[in-house]
Amino acid sequence: MRVLHVAAECAPWAKVGGLADVTGALPAALSAVGVDAALVLPLYREVRERGIEGEPVAGPFPVRLGGRAWPVTLRRATHPEGFPVVLLECDELYDREGIYVDPGTREPFPDDLERFGVLCRGALWAAQVLGRWDLLHAHDAHAAAAVAMLAAGYRHTPLEWTRSVLSLHNAGYQGLHPLAAAATLELPLGDTRPGGPAEFWGRLNLLKAGICAADGLHTVSETYAREIVSGPEFGFGLEGVLRERADRLVGIPNGIDTRAWDPSRDPHLPARYDAADRSGKAECKRAVHRLAGWDESDLSRPLLAVVSRLVDQKGPDLVLEALPALLDSGARLVVLGAGSREYEDAFTRAAASRPDGIWTRIGFDEPLAHRIEAGADVFLMPSRYEPCGLNQMYSMRYGTVPVVRATGGLADTVLEWDPTTGRGTGFRFEAPTSEALLAATARALETYRDPHAWARLVWNGMARDFSWEGAAARYKDWYEGVGRG
């Protein structure tokens, strides 16, 4: 079986969040179970800056979109995990700083529609150039139009029998545009009639268009698959269409890249460790203290951490509200994140006013994310919703205990610690409030004071297997079902 993935991100070349981690690992995991998988990605400036350019295989070819022809060249590269990546080269659209947001204005690029429209149309062209495909697998709103385009008109082409699947990594980002943009993408006119597949409250909704057109729908955890059909809190207005297509919707949880995230050989860490010998973890904690300017000789205070996009979804406001009480309880906090200016400023101010308790780094810093995962004792994820979430899994693997809101993939991967049985891998809470976060963190800190219990809890997390193998086998079965129609 041959599957062509289409996505706007791919780690380690172009990463904003967990989508990149998934598209950077899933194709390789699929190959290991006998699915021949490749990925189409724009050739962004940051990909080039990493020395990745690929070899030209076709083009420039005029990709038509909105009455214009965009010259696109297909370049073939090999991902570090071994799978083929087709890079779409179109400098006018992709040779600039930023993936979704213009770093100058902090707003989405005004030609967003063209950037991702050309990704979709270009991917369908690439698919035809590169042979036959059983499935096109689009990820999120940026690639969803490829599914709608495929359904709308590739009869009598090599794609005639290609089926399509769409993964929803986050139903909160839907690709909304003025309705007239449907013409630019050349989606069928009927799609934009009120209540039509691409119409959403008078606007064009690319995710909805993809949901309606795909042969199969997938999301990244079982709980989130139930949540998104349950109501607007998780479905963001798409719960109705998702409910109508619920028989096509599966939840297959993400794995993690257990090679890139391995405390026993992580090149970013000042010291390495594993479940049997965790002594190197103390060295990692010391290194975080050094970075924060804290006393390195006293590591006794519990170290909490947040590594996250700083947006409402992740509940940074709950951490900010809980902060005084967290620090008064004797804990310290390190924060690495970027996102909305309001949250960035609030964490920066908090660090300036209580420098002995909180240290903040605003920005995106992959090596530092690894060092914080290793150096912290407790990892906070008070997400309002979390389709899967990867950091809780990285945390457990790094012996760092997650405190999570029990939603989506967090609910599926973190088990509440039970001091009587010695089972469990973290601490969970239900209400999206700072009080609930504080109560769960208090349970974590109480357990931290009992070294035996803590060692057991850490061990339980480190022993969990979050590798991609199981997920890849489930994808394969699902693909085969979709392929049979």
Residues that bind ligand ADP (CB under 6 A): 17-19, 21, 307-309, 336-338, 364-366, 369, 388-391
Cβ(344)–Cβ(338) below 8 Å: yes
Kindly tell me which of 366 and 435 has the beta carbon lying closer to ligand ADP: 366
CA–CA separation, 55 and 92 (whole Å): 19
Kindly tell me which of 19 and 334 has the beta carbon lying closer to ligand ADP: 19
Kindly tell me which of 11 and 331 has the beta carbon lying closer to ligand GLC: 11
Question: Least distance from C-beta 336 to ligand ADP, angstroms?
Answer: 5
Kindly tell me which of 291 and 311 has the beta carbon lying closer to ligand GLC: 311
User: Which structure tokens are listed for 350?
Assistant: 């908090």
Q: Which residues ranging from 381 to 400 are in contact with ligand GLC (CB under 6 A)? A: 386-390
Kindly tell me which of 317 and 365 has the beta carbon lying closer to ligand ADP: 365
CA–CA separation, 219 and 169 (whole Å): 6
CA–CA separation, 222 and 227 (whole Å): 9
Could you tell which of ligand GLC, ligand ADP, none binds residue 145, using a CB distance below 5 to 8 A set by kind? Answer: none
Q: Is 63 in the site for ligand GLC (CB under 6 A)?
A: no
Q: How distant is the alpha carbon of residue 176 from its chain centre?
A: 20
CA–CA separation, 206 and 203 (whole Å): 10
CA–CA separation, 138 and 166 (whole Å): 5
The residue sitting closest to ligand GLC, measured at its beta carbon, is 18
Give the x-and-dash track for 351-380 against ligand GLC (CB under 6 A): ------------------------------
Q: Is 19 in the site for ligand GLC (CB under 6 A)?
A: yes
Strand partners, 36: 2
Closest CA to 184 of 70, 33, 46: 70
Q: Site for ligand GLC (CB under 6 A): how many residues?
A: 14
Closest CA to 320 of 338, 303, 342: 342
Q: Which residues ranging from 157 to 196 are in contact with ligand GLC (CB under 6 A)? A: 169-170
Kindly tell me which of 87 and 228 has the beta carbon lying closer to ligand GLC: 228
3-class SS of residue 393: helix
Could you tell which of ligand GLC, ligand ADP, none binds residue 220, using a CB distance below 5 to 8 A set by kind? Answer: ligand GLC
Stretch of residues binding ligand GLC (CB under 6 A), selected from 15-23, 116-124, 206-214, 320-328: 15-23
Question: Least distance from C-beta 309 to ligand GLC, angstroms?
Answer: 8
Question: Least distance from C-beta 426 to ligand GLC, angstroms?
Answer: 16
Cβ(136)–Cβ(147) below 8 Å: yes
CA–CA separation, 427 and 133 (whole Å): 44
3-class SS of residue 380: strand
Stretch of residues binding ligand GLC (CB under 6 A), selected from 14-22, 84-92, 373-381, 427-435: 14-22
Question: Least distance from C-beta 311 to ligand GLC, angstroms?
Answer: 9
Q: Is 269 in the site for ligand GLC (CB under 6 A)?
A: no
User: Which structure tokens are listed for 120?
Assistant: 């979709």
Q: What single-letter DSSP state applies at residue 77?
A: E
CA–CA separation, 164 and 210 (whole Å): 9
Strand partners, 339: 310
- Residues near ligand GLC, by CB under 6 A: 17-19, 22, 169-170, 220, 254, 386-390, 409
